[in-house]
Structures are given as structure tokens and as C-alpha cells.
Amino acid sequence: SGDIVMKAKKGLEFKARTNTYCAEKWTESGFLGFSSKSYERWETQKATCNVEGKNVTLLTDGDLVSEGTDFVATNGNLMADIKGKAFLYDVVTTSKTYSSKSSWWGINSSESFKQTQSTKGTLMKSTGITFLKAKDIKGISTDIIGHDVILDADNIDLRRRKLQNKSRSKSRGFGA
């Protein structure tokens, strides 16, 4: 592939799209409420941007906003000269599962809940120099990789997101 040059007067935005949906849901009931089961699984899909070329150059007088974008220079340099601020964010996806089961008209019951999160951060990667100049650089779960990496800003704030993974279960009744 060839070189990619993106130049914008007012700013560059690479925003992800997310869609949360019920992936699976079912309910079963037994005779006269003697037993029942239910199950739900929710997921979030994400669609992010990819900018890939031999060399990648990003130029703007405004801000750079990225949500989970991959900027990859496959055989050269990645150069970003941003006159405003660089916001290099991640995209979080969440999967949730809920299930319940009961018998003896609810005297015996159990339920469980599980939430799992993952993140896809902005990636700035080159085989040569990865250069990012901006007034301020703020990144969450951002990876900046290159043979040489140069970040030039008044303030640089890069951190990892703490994911909210949790689960719980409870039972009641005979043998609980």
C-alpha cells in the first residue's frame, strides 16, 4: 500500500460505533410453576476505524479525536502534527449474562450474573519513527509503538482503563 496523508483545517475525528443487543434469551416453565429456567446474554459490538499505509501523516489546526482507531505505518513513519489537542480514547465492550432457575414453586431457586468487559484502545504504530505533536495528549488504553517514539506536548496524560468485570450468584431453599 502507498502513503496516507490526512490534512484537515478544523480537526480529525475517528469515532467508533457501538451497538448493544440481546444475543440470546429463553425462558422455560414446568408444570403449574413447579420449575422454571431463564437465561439472557447481552453483548456490545464495536466498529472502529483503521488507517494503514506505508507512511501515515496526520495534520490539523484543530483537535485529533480517536476512539479505538489503529493508525499503522507498515513500512515507514507515522507523523501527527496536531495544533490543538490529541484525544486518544478506547472503546469498551461489555458482555452480560443472567440466568435463574427455580423449583418447588420458588422454594428452591438459584440465579447468577456475570459481566465481562474488554477494551480496544487507539494504536499508533510504525516500523520507523512514531511522532505525535499536540498541545495536550490524553489517552486511555492507548498503545504508541515505533522504532523511535517522540511525543511533544505541554501535557501528556496516558493511562489504562480499569475494567468492571464482576459476577455473583445466590441460591436458596433445600440444600442451598
Q: What percent of the chain has pLDDT over 70?
A: 93
| Residues 135-144: tens digit of each pLDDT | 999 999 999 9
Give 66: exposed, middle or buried? Use CB within 10 Å, 0-12, 13-18, 19+.
buried
What is the rounded CA–CA span in Å between residue 135 and residue 83?
6
What is the rounded CA–CA span in Å between residue 40 and residue 164?
19
Report the pLDDT value the prediction gives residue 176, as an integer from 0 to 100: 58
Ranked by mean pLDDT, the top range of 22-26, 69-73, 105-109 is 69-73
What is the rounded CA–CA span in Å between residue 88 and residue 13?
10
pTM: 0.77
| Residues 97-138: tens digit of each pLDDT | 888 787 776 677 788 888 888 888 999 999 999 999 999 999
Contact call for residues 87 and 55 (beta carbons, < 8 A): no
Which residues lie across from 67 on neighbouring strands?
89
